[in-house]
Amino acid sequence: MDTLKIDIVSDVVCPWCVIGFKNLKKAMKILEADLNFKISWKPYELHPEIPQNGYDKKLFMQQKFGSSSGRSHYNEITRIGESVGFEFNFSKAERIPNTFMAHRLLWMVEKHHLQTELSEALFKAYFTDGLNIGSKEVLADLSTSVGLEKKEVIDFLNSEEGGQETADLEMAFIEKSIGAVPTYFINNKYIIQGGQEPETFVAFFKKIIKKENEANK
């Protein structure tokens, strides 16, 4: 059976990354009888300028969207979220977090094969529950919910481990001129971006497999 390696470049405060992954999961389900998938999550900070203690969300929205505070934009995302089975509650979170620590934690959990589980937990914590995912305590609690030992996570977050590796990974993708997330790198050669529909992913993956099989004849 053919295998597709998918590197998902995303940020945990990116709503389109949630929608894109929900649709990617549907596409993988459609193709599960014919393909294996190896998923890896890669870091990208939409707002690296956010301070470590976060930034007032209402002020951020006013600065970005003006007096509307992005209501129509986020209403549309909420509607799309419902269609893919995800609940967005944009009014719950009070602060925009700095996401570097969350990305560093995702780097750490790759060795436990828990990146996808933690990514989904982070999406729900921020977008549905309004939790501060820039907080060590919140990150530690989320980590235990996916099966990690809390002490291991707290010790890791209190260290510098993974910081340089995470920064290097992010820079590597920035140097590839990524202009938006989510971006999906397939087998280190093919790129598709955005919150695509499941059918778009399916067609793209089939095209890749056909091309690679023909090249290997």
| Domain ranges across the chain | 44-160
The pLDDT confidence band at residue 67, using thresholds 50, 70 and 90, is low
CB-based contact 92:125 (threshold 8 Å): no
Q: Residue 191 — φ and ψ, nearest 5°?
A: -130, 135
Q: Is CATH 3.40.605.10 correct for 44-160?
A: no
The pLDDT confidence band at residue 68, using thresholds 50, 70 and 90, is low
State the pLDDT at residue 47. Answer: 94
User: How many CA atoms within 13 Å lie on the side-chain side of 116?
Assistant: 12
Does the pLDDT of residue 31 top 80, yes or no? yes
The pLDDT confidence band at residue 178, using thresholds 50, 70 and 90, is confident
Q: Residue 40 — φ and ψ, nearest 5°?
A: -135, 135
The pLDDT confidence band at residue 1, using thresholds 50, 70 and 90, is confident
CA distance 61 to 189: 36
Cα angle vertex 129, ends 146, 148, to 5°? Answer: 15
State the pLDDT at residue 157. Answer: 97
State the pLDDT at residue 215. Answer: 83
CA distance 57 to 55: 6
Does the pLDDT of residue 143 top 80, yes or no? yes
Does the pLDDT of residue 44 top 90, yes or no? yes
